[in-house]
Amino acid sequence: MDELNIRNNGKEQPSKIVIMDVMGRPIMKLDNPTDVIKISQVPAGAYFIDIEFANRSERYRIIKK
């Protein structure tokens, strides 16, 4: 997995995305990201992704192999 596809039913664009390791350390920060995020430079492992919108934020967990 070298790309993440961010989709939100076309309603809102994220204002910021932060990818963190399991210890909560930021690995990658993106302001005004596009729908596709290249993560080829991120090593294999488990990560949290915080996606910030204008009025809310969401957190997801991914595992990169």
Q: Which two tokens stand for residue 44?
A: 């294999």
- Predicted local confidence at residue 10, as pLDDT: 64
pLDDT in tens, 10-65: 677 889 999 999 999 999 999 998 888 899 999 999 999 999 988 889 999 999 98
pTM of the model: 0.84
Residues 6 or more apart in contact with residue 13 via CB below 8 angstroms: 32, 53
Q: Which two tokens stand for residue 27?
A: 């690995």
- Predicted local confidence at residue 1, as pLDDT: 60
Distances (CA, A) of 39 to 35, 48, 59, 64: 13, 13, 17, 9
